[in-house]
Structure 1
């Protein structure tokens, strides 16, 4: 398991199981947290980004503790992660009586909004055009390429070449830019764009999401907290995969690339686990 600071520690997570045989919800949580690599601060980013993305949205500390506790995260780890997010400018917190109220700060809101199209689009993007950037040996050219690689929109083919979907951004000065809508992609390019580790991640996620979908009650999830926890964990697992690579044409990706299949089942799950009203959750928490 990982602590909020990313270091290994068993104490961050506790088993969500009650005494006796685990029920369907506990089995779902186990499926969605089995990798043990979820960082608590990152789970909180998912909670805020999915449940409270607007400037007016606020989540009480009590509700956050309820959701993370049901996900098997210990209270101390949640407190440490909230402190980290405040320190790094992701969230803002205020005190109301004996409770804390949290919301996304401007930085956190902009970061979350930028990720929304990648996370929630119902269909995988298959761009019809792409462009290649080629740097020469000059420092200016290499620096310009390095700066563009930081955007996360590009796949680096080598130290002087990168590709991305769609047209090139304006203002490029020291790079050779080539646009095309046709390509013969060799296996080495497919392996570079869809590396084995990421391909395996999608293979694993597909199995996990299928198992969770099969475990959900046929009549829907009656408990709003259970529904919300499972929704957050589904979005979190999906977010951690889909934001690790840019959109690229299918021709650039290896055979058996399961991102589109994962996306389809993610939306089946999210349709079964609709985004709740924060006011309803807070009211239910206080009842």
Structure 2
């Protein structure tokens, strides 16, 4: 970078990192998922360190997080001379591609079909239900009943499965799908996006590095919220739910912060 970060940039980063407890490995997952999702995409360690430093993350923490992602099978690394380059593994790309529609769609996907699973009082039936809840976007209605989008899974043994496209949604279910803690997270994120929209210059960040890290931090904060729950239709959520407003704000901000080409980020370090 050629100049110091302007006040508007520091203000935006501050709002996007205000929790102060960023999981660095998770931020790196967002960097790869947003900037380098294609099979041939790779990012140098120098660029990753430059990006994370703009977010207030220390170089040592970045190195530790990269090591963790390699160990967990998310990324693979190669060396060219003194430089290290990192890319998503097939597993990492699959995870990123799977989550992308929930994150980047301008309108939230609304499943047309839902299913409910009901367990008996037996331990084996409850265990089958608990195991299935680890495999999809299930929400627990009570200890014996769970619900998720899509068709009833095949191969049920001791569970009753019912699927339908028409479900009556009482108030208690709206509160269960949109609990206060999640509503608060959406409210706070919406305020942050509004402040960023006001602070950021109309033409965007201009600098490729600042553009990249602002994109990453916006997507990271959004991803942490929107992937915490299934893609519920509006009828399942409280009337004051801010999810659609947040999605619209994210789309608008990302349009002002177009994804930089990886070569431009590498070139920025050499300038």
Taking structure 2 as the reference length, the TM-score comes to 0.94
Say whether residues 1:285 and 2:269 are aligned partners: yes
Say whether residues 1:113 and 2:91 are aligned partners: no
Say whether residues 1:215 and 2:196 are aligned partners: no
Q: 1:257 aligns with which of 210, 218, 241?
A: 241
Map of 1:245 onto structure 2: 229
For the residues of structure 2 that align with 1:109 and 1:141, how far apart are their CA atoms?
Answer: 35
* Aligned residues of 1:122 and 1:264 also touching (Cα < 8 A): yes
Q: Please list, as runs of the form range in 1=range in 2, the aligned pairs for 1:162-201 lying within 5 A after superposition.
A: 162-201=146-185
Q: Please list, as runs of the form range in 1=range in 2, the aligned pairs for 1:88-103 lying within 5 A after superposition.
A: 88-103=72-87
Map of 1:42 onto structure 2: 26
Give the gaps of 5 or more residues in structure 2.
Answer: none
* Aligned residues of 2:203 and 2:256 also touching (Cα < 8 A): no
Q: Please list, as runs of the form range in 1=range in 2, the aligned pairs for 1:5-154 lying within 5 A after superposition.
A: 23-154=7-138
For the residues of structure 2 that align with 1:35 and 1:150, how far apart are their CA atoms?
Answer: 28
* Aligned residues of 1:164 and 1:248 also touching (Cα < 8 A): no
Taking structure 1 as the reference length, the TM-score comes to 0.89
Map of 2:250 onto structure 1: 266
Map of 2:145 onto structure 1: 161
Per the TM alignment, residue 93 of structure 1 is displaced from its structure 2 partner at its CA by 1.2
| Total equivalences in the alignment | 268
Partner SS, residue 158 of structure 2? coil
Map of 1:6 onto structure 2: none
The structure showing larger relative contact order (alpha-carbon pairs under 8 Å, at least 6 residues apart) is: 2
For the residues of structure 1 that align with 2:233 and 2:268, how far apart are their CA atoms?
Answer: 45
* Aligned residues of 1:165 and 1:249 also touching (Cα < 8 A): no
* Aligned residues of 2:136 and 2:148 also touching (Cα < 8 A): no
Per the TM alignment, residue 268 of structure 1 is displaced from its structure 2 partner at its CA by 0.3
Per the TM alignment, residue 219 of structure 1 is displaced from its structure 2 partner at its CA by 2.2
